[in-house]
Chain A
Protein backbone atom coordinates (compact mmCIF):
# COMPACT_ATOMS: atom_id res chain seq x y z
CA UNK A 1 0.00 0.00 0.00
CA UNK A 2 2.78 2.37 0.81
CA UNK A 3 6.49 2.54 1.28
CA UNK A 4 6.27 2.47 5.06
CA UNK A 5 4.22 -0.72 5.09
CA UNK A 6 6.69 -2.21 2.65
CA UNK A 7 9.54 -1.16 4.94
CA UNK A 8 7.90 -2.74 7.94
CA UNK A 9 7.22 -5.98 6.07
CA UNK A 10 10.77 -6.12 4.70
CA UNK A 11 12.19 -5.46 8.17
CA UNK A 12 10.10 -8.20 9.77
CA UNK A 13 10.86 -10.69 6.98
CA UNK A 14 14.55 -9.87 7.32
CA UNK A 15 14.34 -10.48 11.06
CA UNK A 16 12.64 -13.85 10.50
CA UNK A 17 15.17 -14.79 7.82
CA UNK A 18 18.08 -13.86 10.07
CA UNK A 19 16.59 -15.94 12.90
CA UNK A 20 16.01 -18.93 10.62
CA UNK A 21 19.42 -18.85 8.94
CA UNK A 22 21.12 -18.51 12.29
CA UNK A 23 19.09 -21.31 13.79
CA UNK A 24 19.97 -23.63 10.91
CA UNK A 25 23.67 -22.84 10.75
CA UNK A 26 24.23 -22.63 14.49
CA UNK A 27 23.10 -26.25 14.68
CA UNK A 28 25.80 -27.03 12.16
CA UNK A 29 28.34 -24.93 14.08
CA UNK A 30 27.34 -26.61 17.32
CA UNK A 31 27.75 -30.10 15.85
CA UNK A 32 31.08 -29.23 14.25
CA UNK A 33 32.25 -27.63 17.49
CA UNK A 34 31.11 -30.63 19.50
CA UNK A 35 32.95 -32.89 17.08
CA UNK A 36 36.14 -30.88 17.42
CA UNK A 37 35.90 -30.94 21.22
CA UNK A 38 35.18 -34.67 21.32
CA UNK A 39 37.94 -35.48 18.78
CA UNK A 40 35.67 -36.60 15.95
CA UNK A 41 34.87 -34.88 12.64
CA UNK A 42 31.17 -33.99 13.12
CA UNK A 43 28.91 -33.62 10.05
CA UNK A 44 31.30 -33.31 7.10
CA UNK A 45 29.78 -35.36 4.30
CA UNK A 46 27.10 -33.12 2.74
CA UNK A 47 28.81 -30.34 0.84
CA UNK A 48 32.09 -28.66 1.75
CA UNK A 49 32.67 -28.88 5.53
CA UNK A 50 29.18 -30.39 5.81
CA UNK A 51 27.64 -26.99 5.00
CA UNK A 52 24.67 -28.60 3.26
CA UNK A 53 23.72 -30.54 6.38
CA UNK A 54 21.25 -27.91 7.75
CA UNK A 55 19.10 -27.70 4.56
CA UNK A 56 19.11 -31.50 4.36
CA UNK A 57 17.98 -31.70 7.98
CA UNK A 58 15.33 -29.06 7.35
CA UNK A 59 13.89 -30.96 4.37
CA UNK A 60 13.91 -34.16 6.40
CA UNK A 61 12.07 -32.53 9.31
CA UNK A 62 9.47 -30.93 7.06
CA UNK A 63 8.86 -34.13 5.14
CA UNK A 64 8.23 -36.19 8.25
CA UNK A 65 4.78 -37.00 9.53
CA UNK A 66 3.62 -35.02 12.54
CA UNK A 67 2.69 -37.67 15.10
CA UNK A 68 0.41 -36.61 17.93
CA UNK A 69 0.41 -39.07 20.84
CA UNK A 70 -2.94 -40.61 21.69
CA UNK A 71 -3.39 -39.19 25.17
CA UNK A 72 -2.03 -35.77 24.34
CA UNK A 73 -3.90 -32.53 24.77
CA UNK A 74 -4.06 -31.81 21.04
CA UNK A 75 -4.63 -28.07 21.13
CA UNK A 76 -1.86 -27.33 23.62
CA UNK A 77 0.45 -29.84 21.92
CA UNK A 78 0.10 -27.97 18.62
CA UNK A 79 0.27 -24.47 20.11
CA UNK A 80 3.42 -24.97 22.21
CA UNK A 81 6.09 -25.06 19.45
CA UNK A 82 4.60 -21.99 17.78
CA UNK A 83 4.52 -20.23 21.13
CA UNK A 84 8.20 -21.06 21.54
CA UNK A 85 9.17 -19.61 18.16
CA UNK A 86 7.02 -16.45 18.00
CA UNK A 87 8.52 -14.59 21.01
CA UNK A 88 12.02 -15.30 19.69
CA UNK A 89 11.13 -13.72 16.34
CA UNK A 90 9.38 -10.80 18.06
CA UNK A 91 12.52 -10.05 20.06
CA UNK A 92 14.60 -9.90 16.88
CA UNK A 93 12.39 -7.10 15.62
CA UNK A 94 13.65 -4.68 18.26
CA UNK A 95 17.34 -5.64 18.44
CA UNK A 96 19.55 -2.97 16.86
CA UNK A 97 22.39 -4.49 14.85
CA UNK A 98 23.92 -1.12 14.14
CA UNK A 99 22.86 2.52 14.18
CA UNK A 100 20.65 2.08 11.11
CA UNK A 101 19.87 -1.63 11.08
CA UNK A 102 16.91 -2.14 13.37
CA UNK A 103 13.51 -3.43 12.29
CA UNK A 104 11.48 -1.46 14.81
CA UNK A 105 13.18 0.88 17.23
CA UNK A 106 11.36 1.03 20.57
CA UNK A 107 12.16 3.16 23.58
CA UNK A 108 11.42 0.23 25.89
CA UNK A 109 13.41 -2.33 23.92
CA UNK A 110 14.92 -4.10 26.94
CA UNK A 111 11.53 -4.48 28.56
CA UNK A 112 10.04 -5.82 25.33
CA UNK A 113 12.69 -8.53 24.96
CA UNK A 114 12.21 -9.67 28.54
CA UNK A 115 8.42 -9.66 28.38
CA UNK A 116 8.51 -11.81 25.25
CA UNK A 117 11.16 -14.03 26.79
CA UNK A 118 8.74 -14.73 29.63
CA UNK A 119 6.38 -16.31 27.07
CA UNK A 120 9.05 -18.90 26.34
CA UNK A 121 8.57 -20.51 29.76
CA UNK A 122 4.85 -20.78 29.00
CA UNK A 123 5.66 -22.64 25.76
CA UNK A 124 7.85 -25.18 27.59
CA UNK A 125 5.16 -25.69 30.22
CA UNK A 126 2.42 -26.27 27.64
CA UNK A 127 4.67 -28.57 25.60
CA UNK A 128 5.51 -30.77 28.57
CA UNK A 129 1.96 -30.85 29.81
CA UNK A 130 0.31 -31.15 26.41
CA UNK A 131 2.30 -34.21 25.38
CA UNK A 132 1.08 -36.15 28.45
CA UNK A 133 4.39 -37.78 28.96
CA UNK A 134 5.83 -38.12 32.43
CA UNK A 135 9.28 -37.16 31.24
CA UNK A 136 7.75 -34.18 29.51
CA UNK A 137 5.90 -33.01 32.62
CA UNK A 138 8.95 -33.46 34.84
CA UNK A 139 11.15 -31.64 32.37
CA UNK A 140 8.77 -28.74 32.01
CA UNK A 141 8.48 -28.33 35.78
CA UNK A 142 12.27 -28.26 35.94
CA UNK A 143 12.68 -25.93 33.00
CA UNK A 144 10.11 -23.48 34.27
CA UNK A 145 11.45 -23.36 37.82
CA UNK A 146 14.88 -22.79 36.31
CA UNK A 147 13.62 -20.05 34.00
CA UNK A 148 11.82 -18.29 36.84
CA UNK A 149 14.80 -18.39 39.18
CA UNK A 150 17.29 -17.15 36.62
CA UNK A 151 15.03 -14.42 35.31
CA UNK A 152 15.34 -12.64 38.68
CA UNK A 153 19.14 -12.07 38.84
CA UNK A 154 19.08 -11.32 35.12
CA UNK A 155 16.44 -8.61 35.52
CA UNK A 156 18.21 -7.16 38.58
CA UNK A 157 21.42 -6.89 36.56
CA UNK A 158 19.54 -5.23 33.73
CA UNK A 159 18.00 -2.79 36.21
CA UNK A 160 21.51 -1.87 37.38
CA UNK A 161 22.53 -1.03 33.83
CA UNK A 162 19.30 0.77 33.02
CA UNK A 163 19.83 2.82 36.18
CA UNK A 164 23.31 3.82 35.04
CA UNK A 165 22.19 4.77 31.55
CA UNK A 166 18.75 6.12 32.44
CA UNK A 167 17.13 4.54 29.41
CA UNK A 168 15.55 1.28 28.32
CA UNK A 169 16.20 2.05 24.66
CA UNK A 170 18.67 -0.49 23.31
CA UNK A 171 20.15 2.06 20.92
CA UNK A 172 20.72 4.58 23.70
CA UNK A 173 22.27 1.85 25.84
CA UNK A 174 24.80 1.30 23.06
CA UNK A 175 25.25 5.02 22.45
CA UNK A 176 26.13 5.49 26.13
CA UNK A 177 29.03 3.05 25.67
CA UNK A 178 30.41 4.52 22.44
CA UNK A 179 34.03 5.49 21.97
CA UNK A 180 36.12 2.47 22.87
CA UNK A 181 36.52 -0.41 25.23
CA UNK A 182 37.06 1.81 28.31
CA UNK A 183 33.48 3.12 27.96
CA UNK A 184 31.86 -0.30 27.83
CA UNK A 185 29.69 -1.40 30.71
CA UNK A 186 31.92 -4.44 31.14
CA UNK A 187 34.74 -2.25 32.44
CA UNK A 188 34.26 -1.13 36.06
CA UNK A 189 33.90 2.58 36.60
CA UNK A 190 33.75 4.72 39.71
CA UNK A 191 29.97 4.43 40.01
CA UNK A 192 29.85 0.72 39.18
CA UNK A 193 32.93 -1.13 40.43
CA UNK A 194 31.28 -4.57 40.25
CA UNK A 195 30.47 -4.56 36.54
CA UNK A 196 32.58 -7.61 35.58
CA UNK A 197 30.64 -9.56 38.22
CA UNK A 198 27.36 -8.36 36.71
CA UNK A 199 28.60 -9.50 33.33
CA UNK A 200 29.38 -12.94 34.70
CA UNK A 201 25.95 -13.15 36.37
CA UNK A 202 24.22 -12.10 33.18
CA UNK A 203 26.26 -14.58 31.15
CA UNK A 204 25.40 -17.47 33.50
CA UNK A 205 21.75 -16.44 33.51
CA UNK A 206 21.55 -16.33 29.74
CA UNK A 207 23.02 -19.83 29.59
CA UNK A 208 20.32 -20.95 32.05
CA UNK A 209 17.51 -19.02 30.36
CA UNK A 210 18.26 -20.63 27.01
CA UNK A 211 18.29 -24.06 28.70
CA UNK A 212 21.84 -24.76 27.59
CA UNK A 213 24.26 -27.16 29.21
CA UNK A 214 25.49 -27.15 31.96
CA UNK A 215 21.96 -25.98 32.80
CA UNK A 216 20.00 -28.13 30.33
CA UNK A 217 17.97 -29.82 33.05
CA UNK A 218 14.87 -29.34 30.89
CA UNK A 219 16.04 -31.85 28.31
CA UNK A 220 18.67 -33.80 30.24
CA UNK A 221 18.88 -36.70 27.79
CA UNK A 222 20.47 -39.11 30.26
CA UNK A 223 17.58 -38.66 32.72
CA UNK A 224 14.50 -37.50 30.83
CA UNK A 225 14.91 -38.93 27.29
CA UNK A 226 14.60 -35.52 25.60
CA UNK A 227 12.73 -33.53 28.21
CA UNK A 228 9.78 -31.39 27.21
CA UNK A 229 10.10 -32.22 23.50
CA UNK A 230 10.23 -35.99 23.96
CA UNK A 231 6.98 -36.50 22.07
CA UNK A 232 7.67 -33.99 19.33
CA UNK A 233 8.72 -35.11 15.89
CA UNK A 234 9.02 -33.47 12.48
CA UNK A 235 8.56 -29.70 12.41
CA UNK A 236 7.24 -29.46 15.98
CA UNK A 237 10.68 -30.55 17.11
CA UNK A 238 12.19 -28.36 14.41
CA UNK A 239 10.46 -25.28 15.80
CA UNK A 240 11.69 -25.98 19.35
CA UNK A 241 15.18 -26.40 17.99
CA UNK A 242 15.00 -23.20 15.99
CA UNK A 243 13.58 -21.33 18.97
CA UNK A 244 16.46 -22.53 21.14
CA UNK A 245 19.06 -21.24 18.70
CA UNK A 246 17.15 -18.01 18.05
CA UNK A 247 17.11 -17.48 21.82
CA UNK A 248 20.86 -18.05 21.94
CA UNK A 249 21.36 -15.34 19.32
CA UNK A 250 19.07 -13.02 21.31
CA UNK A 251 20.98 -13.77 24.52
CA UNK A 252 24.31 -13.06 22.81
CA UNK A 253 22.92 -9.85 21.28
CA UNK A 254 21.65 -8.70 24.69
CA UNK A 255 25.02 -9.34 26.32
CA UNK A 256 26.70 -7.46 23.48
CA UNK A 257 24.33 -4.51 23.77
CA UNK A 258 24.32 -4.33 27.56
CA UNK A 259 27.99 -4.98 28.33
CA UNK A 260 30.15 -5.05 25.22
CA UNK A 261 29.23 -1.79 23.56
CA UNK A 262 27.01 -3.16 20.79
CA UNK A 263 28.38 -2.17 17.39
CA UNK A 264 31.18 -0.12 18.90
CA UNK A 265 34.80 -1.03 18.12
CA UNK A 266 37.08 -1.76 21.10
CA UNK A 267 39.41 1.03 19.96
CA UNK A 268 36.69 3.43 18.87
CA UNK A 269 37.41 2.91 15.15
CA UNK A 270 34.91 2.08 12.38
CA UNK A 271 31.84 1.24 14.48
CA UNK A 272 29.39 -0.84 12.51
CA UNK A 273 27.33 -3.97 12.18
CA UNK A 274 30.48 -6.11 11.63
CA UNK A 275 31.60 -5.51 15.21
CA UNK A 276 28.17 -6.49 16.48
CA UNK A 277 28.19 -9.73 14.48
CA UNK A 278 31.78 -10.50 15.52
CA UNK A 279 30.88 -10.06 19.18
CA UNK A 280 27.69 -12.13 19.09
CA UNK A 281 29.38 -14.99 17.23
CA UNK A 282 32.28 -14.97 19.69
CA UNK A 283 29.75 -15.19 22.52
CA UNK A 284 27.84 -17.96 20.75
CA UNK A 285 31.10 -19.84 20.26
CA UNK A 286 31.74 -19.59 24.00
CA UNK A 287 28.19 -20.91 24.63
CA UNK A 288 28.95 -23.93 22.45
CA UNK A 289 32.36 -24.36 24.03
CA UNK A 290 30.84 -24.36 27.52
CA UNK A 291 28.09 -26.76 26.52
CA UNK A 292 30.48 -29.45 25.38
CA UNK A 293 33.12 -29.08 28.09
CA UNK A 294 31.07 -28.77 31.29
CA UNK A 295 29.11 -31.63 32.86
CA UNK A 296 25.44 -31.07 33.68
CA UNK A 297 24.60 -29.75 37.15
CA UNK A 298 21.83 -31.14 39.33
CA UNK A 299 18.51 -29.34 39.64
CA UNK A 300 19.14 -28.49 43.31
CA UNK A 301 22.62 -27.21 42.62
CA UNK A 302 21.16 -25.14 39.84
CA UNK A 303 18.42 -23.55 41.95
CA UNK A 304 20.81 -23.01 44.88
CA UNK A 305 23.23 -21.21 42.58
CA UNK A 306 20.51 -18.78 41.58
CA UNK A 307 18.76 -18.17 44.90
CA UNK A 308 21.72 -18.33 47.26
CA UNK A 309 24.51 -16.81 45.19
CA UNK A 310 23.42 -14.93 42.09
CA UNK A 311 20.39 -13.11 43.51
CA UNK A 312 22.14 -11.82 46.67
CA UNK A 313 25.18 -10.68 44.69
CA UNK A 314 23.11 -8.96 42.02
CA UNK A 315 20.96 -7.25 44.69
CA UNK A 316 24.09 -6.08 46.49
CA UNK A 317 25.45 -4.78 43.21
CA UNK A 318 22.18 -2.94 42.55
CA UNK A 319 22.29 -1.23 45.96
CA UNK A 320 25.99 -0.42 45.65
CA UNK A 321 25.53 1.07 42.18
CA UNK A 322 22.49 3.07 43.32
CA UNK A 323 24.49 4.47 46.26
CA UNK A 324 27.57 5.26 44.19
CA UNK A 325 25.49 6.89 41.44
CA UNK A 326 24.20 9.29 44.11
CA UNK A 327 27.73 10.02 45.32
CA UNK A 328 29.47 10.52 41.96
Chain B
Protein backbone atom coordinates (compact mmCIF):
# COMPACT_ATOMS: atom_id res chain seq x y z
CA UNK B 1 0.00 0.00 0.00
CA UNK B 2 1.28 3.41 -0.89
CA UNK B 3 1.68 5.36 2.35
CA UNK B 4 1.02 8.70 0.67
CA UNK B 5 -2.48 7.79 -0.51
CA UNK B 6 -3.51 6.11 2.71
CA UNK B 7 -5.26 8.55 5.00
CA UNK B 8 -5.59 7.40 8.56
CA UNK B 9 -6.97 4.07 9.63
CA UNK B 10 -9.54 4.06 6.87
CA UNK B 11 -7.08 4.81 4.12
CA UNK B 12 -7.79 1.51 2.50
CA UNK B 13 -11.48 2.34 2.20
CA UNK B 14 -11.21 5.85 0.79
CA UNK B 15 -8.65 4.66 -1.72
CA UNK B 16 -11.21 2.74 -3.75
CA UNK B 17 -13.57 5.61 -4.40
CA UNK B 18 -16.60 4.38 -2.48
CA UNK B 19 -16.88 7.86 -1.05
CA UNK B 20 -20.35 7.54 0.46
CA UNK B 21 -19.65 4.31 2.30
CA UNK B 22 -16.26 5.61 3.29
CA UNK B 23 -17.69 8.74 4.88
CA UNK B 24 -20.28 6.76 6.78
CA UNK B 25 -17.75 4.20 7.94
CA UNK B 26 -15.27 6.92 8.89
CA UNK B 27 -17.99 8.67 10.88
CA UNK B 28 -18.85 5.47 12.73
CA UNK B 29 -15.19 4.81 13.51
CA UNK B 30 -14.82 8.36 14.77
CA UNK B 31 -17.89 7.95 16.99
CA UNK B 32 -16.51 4.69 18.38
CA UNK B 33 -13.26 6.46 19.26
CA UNK B 34 -15.20 9.29 20.91
CA UNK B 35 -17.26 6.75 22.85
CA UNK B 36 -14.09 4.98 24.04
CA UNK B 37 -12.63 8.29 25.20
CA UNK B 38 -15.80 9.36 27.03
CA UNK B 39 -16.37 5.94 28.61
CA UNK B 40 -12.76 5.89 29.75
CA UNK B 41 -13.19 9.33 31.27
CA UNK B 42 -16.39 8.32 33.07
CA UNK B 43 -14.71 5.21 34.49
CA UNK B 44 -11.72 7.29 35.58
CA UNK B 45 -14.01 9.71 37.47
CA UNK B 46 -16.51 7.29 38.95
CA UNK B 47 -14.64 4.07 39.65
CA UNK B 48 -14.65 2.98 43.26
CA UNK B 49 -11.23 1.37 43.16
CA UNK B 50 -8.21 3.48 42.30
CA UNK B 51 -6.71 0.87 39.99
CA UNK B 52 -9.91 0.79 37.96
CA UNK B 53 -9.80 4.57 37.75
CA UNK B 54 -6.28 4.34 36.34
CA UNK B 55 -7.41 1.69 33.86
CA UNK B 56 -10.23 4.03 32.81
CA UNK B 57 -7.73 6.84 32.41
CA UNK B 58 -5.60 4.61 30.20
CA UNK B 59 -8.66 3.76 28.10
CA UNK B 60 -9.43 7.47 27.78
CA UNK B 61 -5.86 8.20 26.62
CA UNK B 62 -6.08 5.31 24.17
CA UNK B 63 -9.24 6.83 22.69
CA UNK B 64 -7.52 10.20 22.34
CA UNK B 65 -4.53 8.51 20.66
CA UNK B 66 -6.94 6.81 18.24
CA UNK B 67 -8.49 10.19 17.43
CA UNK B 68 -5.03 11.63 16.73
CA UNK B 69 -4.33 8.73 14.41
CA UNK B 70 -7.68 9.22 12.70
CA UNK B 71 -6.85 12.91 12.22
CA UNK B 72 -3.75 11.83 10.34
CA UNK B 73 -1.09 12.57 12.94
CA UNK B 74 0.33 9.14 13.77
CA UNK B 75 3.39 10.72 15.43
CA UNK B 76 1.19 12.46 18.01
CA UNK B 77 -0.88 9.31 18.46
CA UNK B 78 2.18 7.21 19.24
CA UNK B 79 3.59 9.90 21.53
CA UNK B 80 0.25 10.03 23.34
CA UNK B 81 0.44 6.30 23.97
CA UNK B 82 4.10 6.28 24.89
CA UNK B 83 3.89 9.23 27.30
CA UNK B 84 0.40 9.11 28.74
CA UNK B 85 -0.25 5.37 28.93
CA UNK B 86 3.33 4.11 29.03
CA UNK B 87 4.61 6.67 31.51
CA UNK B 88 1.86 8.62 33.31
CA UNK B 89 -0.66 5.81 33.86
CA UNK B 90 2.00 3.29 34.83
CA UNK B 91 3.57 5.73 37.30
CA UNK B 92 0.19 6.39 38.93
CA UNK B 93 -0.72 2.70 39.07
CA UNK B 94 2.69 1.89 40.45
CA UNK B 95 2.30 4.44 43.23
CA UNK B 96 -1.13 3.05 44.12
CA UNK B 97 0.36 -0.41 44.50
CA UNK B 98 3.16 0.89 46.71
CA UNK B 99 0.64 2.77 48.83
CA UNK B 100 -0.29 -0.47 50.56
CA UNK B 101 -3.44 -0.56 52.74
CA UNK B 102 -6.45 -1.99 50.96
CA UNK B 103 -8.85 0.72 52.16
CA UNK B 104 -6.70 3.57 50.92
CA UNK B 105 -6.99 2.11 47.44
CA UNK B 106 -10.62 3.19 47.31
CA UNK B 107 -11.23 6.58 45.79
CA UNK B 108 -11.95 9.22 48.42
CA UNK B 109 -15.15 11.22 48.84
CA UNK B 110 -15.85 13.67 46.05
CA UNK B 111 -14.30 17.09 46.53
CA UNK B 112 -15.71 20.60 46.57
CA UNK B 113 -16.14 20.65 42.80
CA UNK B 114 -18.83 17.94 42.76
CA UNK B 115 -22.54 18.65 42.79
CA UNK B 116 -23.94 22.03 41.68
CA UNK B 117 -20.54 23.74 41.56
CA UNK B 118 -19.26 20.96 39.30
CA UNK B 119 -22.27 21.34 37.01
CA UNK B 120 -21.62 25.07 36.72
CA UNK B 121 -17.94 24.47 35.96
CA UNK B 122 -18.76 21.81 33.37
CA UNK B 123 -21.36 24.11 31.82
CA UNK B 124 -18.90 27.00 31.60
CA UNK B 125 -16.23 24.79 30.02
CA UNK B 126 -18.77 23.42 27.52
CA UNK B 127 -19.98 26.91 26.58
CA UNK B 128 -16.39 28.06 26.20
CA UNK B 129 -15.53 25.11 23.98
CA UNK B 130 -18.65 25.62 21.84
CA UNK B 131 -17.79 29.30 21.52
CA UNK B 132 -14.26 28.46 20.45
CA UNK B 133 -15.46 25.83 17.98
CA UNK B 134 -18.03 28.16 16.41
CA UNK B 135 -15.73 31.15 16.13
CA UNK B 136 -12.73 29.29 14.78
CA UNK B 137 -12.38 28.89 11.05
CA UNK B 138 -10.90 25.47 10.47
CA UNK B 139 -8.38 25.30 7.66
CA UNK B 140 -6.69 22.26 6.28
CA UNK B 141 -3.00 22.84 6.78
CA UNK B 142 -0.50 21.30 4.37
CA UNK B 143 1.41 18.32 5.63
CA UNK B 144 4.76 19.63 6.86
CA UNK B 145 6.78 16.48 6.40
CA UNK B 146 6.50 12.72 6.17
CA UNK B 147 7.85 12.00 9.63
CA UNK B 148 11.44 13.08 9.07
CA UNK B 149 13.14 12.94 12.44
CA UNK B 150 15.41 15.90 11.82
CA UNK B 151 12.52 18.24 10.94
CA UNK B 152 10.49 17.07 13.93
CA UNK B 153 13.48 17.72 16.15
CA UNK B 154 14.04 21.21 14.78
CA UNK B 155 10.34 22.07 15.14
CA UNK B 156 10.22 20.72 18.69
CA UNK B 157 13.19 22.81 19.78
CA UNK B 158 12.18 26.03 18.01
CA UNK B 159 8.51 26.60 17.15
CA UNK B 160 7.07 24.19 19.68
CA UNK B 161 9.68 24.39 22.42
CA UNK B 162 7.05 25.67 24.88
CA UNK B 163 4.82 22.63 24.25
CA UNK B 164 7.84 20.37 24.52
CA UNK B 165 8.70 21.81 27.95
CA UNK B 166 5.07 21.54 29.09
CA UNK B 167 5.08 17.83 28.26
CA UNK B 168 8.05 17.33 30.54
CA UNK B 169 6.21 19.22 33.28
CA UNK B 170 3.27 16.81 32.88
CA UNK B 171 5.65 13.92 33.51
CA UNK B 172 7.18 15.71 36.48
CA UNK B 173 3.74 16.28 37.98
CA UNK B 174 2.84 12.62 37.46
CA UNK B 175 6.02 11.51 39.23
CA UNK B 176 5.62 13.93 42.14
CA UNK B 177 1.93 13.05 42.49
CA UNK B 178 2.64 9.34 42.59
CA UNK B 179 5.43 9.88 45.10
CA UNK B 180 3.00 11.78 47.33
CA UNK B 181 0.40 8.99 47.10
CA UNK B 182 3.04 6.36 47.86
CA UNK B 183 4.45 8.36 50.78
CA UNK B 184 0.99 8.96 52.20
CA UNK B 185 0.25 5.25 52.12
CA UNK B 186 3.55 4.36 53.78
CA UNK B 187 3.08 6.66 56.76
CA UNK B 188 -0.14 4.94 57.80
Once A73-B49, A106-B3 are accepted as A-B contacts, the answer to whether A1 and B18 lie under 8 Å apart by CB is yes
User: A126 contacts the other chain (Cβ, under 8 Å)?
Assistant: yes
Q: Is the CB of A104 within 8 A of B1?
A: yes
Complex Cα spacing A160 to B1, Å: 29
Q: Are B12 and A7 in contact (CB under 8 A)?
A: yes
A167 near B52 with CB under 8 A, answer no
Taking a contact as CB atoms closer than 8 A, the residue among A4, A118, A148 that contacts B1 in the complex is A4
Interface residues of B: mostly helix, strand, loop or mixed?
helix
Stretch of A51-59, A136-144, A174-182, A218-226 on the interface side:
A136-144
Give the contacting residue for A8; candidates B12, B90, B146; CB below 8 A.
B12
Report the nearest A residue to B146, measured CB to CB: A107
A-contact bits for B149-178, CB 8 A (1 contact / 0 none): 110000000000000000000000000000
- Report the minimal beta-carbon distance from B183 to chain A, rounded to whole angstroms: 16
- Min CB distance B28 to A, Å, is 15
Are B97 and A73 in touch, CB under 8 angstroms? no
Nearest residue (CB) in B for A151 is: B86
Structural contact, B55 and A126, CB atoms closer than 8 A: yes
How far apart sit A248 and B52, CA to CA, in the bound complex (Å)?
29
The segment from B77-85, B111-119, B120-128, B133-141 found at the interface with A is: B77-85
Interface members, chain A 224-239 (any B CB < 8 Å) = none
Interface: A67 (CB within 8 A): no
A: contact size bracket: 35 or more
Q: Is A119 a contact partner of B1 (Cβ separation < 8 A)?
A: no
* B-side interface size class: 20 to 34
Of residues 109 through 152 on chain A, the ones whose CB sits less than 8 Å from some CB of chain B are 111-112, 114-116, 118-119, 121-122, 125-126, 129, 137, 140-141, 144-145, 148, 151
Decide if A108 touches B16 in the complex (CB within 8 Å): no
Verify B82–A166 contact, CB threshold 8 A. no
Q: Does A65 contact B (CB under 8 A)?
A: no
Contacts of A115 in B (CB 8 A): 78-79, 81-82, 85-86
Q: A115-B86, A118-B85 are in contact. Are A145 and B16 (CB under 8 A)?
A: no
Contact status B52-A105, CB under 8 Å: no
Chain A residues within an 8 Å CB radius of B78: 108, 111-112, 115
Using CB atoms, name the residue of chain B closest to A11. Answer: B1
B90 touching A111, Cβ below 8 Å:
no
Partner of B148 from the list A104, A111, A141, A167 (CB cut-off 8 Å) is A167
Cα distance, A13 to B21, chains bound together (Å): 24
Q: Do B81 and A119 touch across chains, with their CB atoms under 8 A apart?
A: yes
**Per a CB cutoff under 8 Å, which of A1, A121, A125, A145 touches B13?**
A1
Q: Which residue of B lies closest to A128 (CB)?
A: B97
B98: CB under 8 A from chain A? yes
Other A-B pairs, 11, CB within 8 Å; known A1-B18, A144-B93: A4-B15, A73-B49, A106-B74, A108-B147, A111-B78, A115-B78, A115-B81, A115-B82, A118-B85, A122-B85, A166-B150
12 contacts between A and B (CB under 8 A): A3-B16, A4-B15, A4-B16, A111-B75, A112-B74, A112-B78, A115-B85, A118-B85, A121-B86, A122-B93, A140-B97, A148-B94
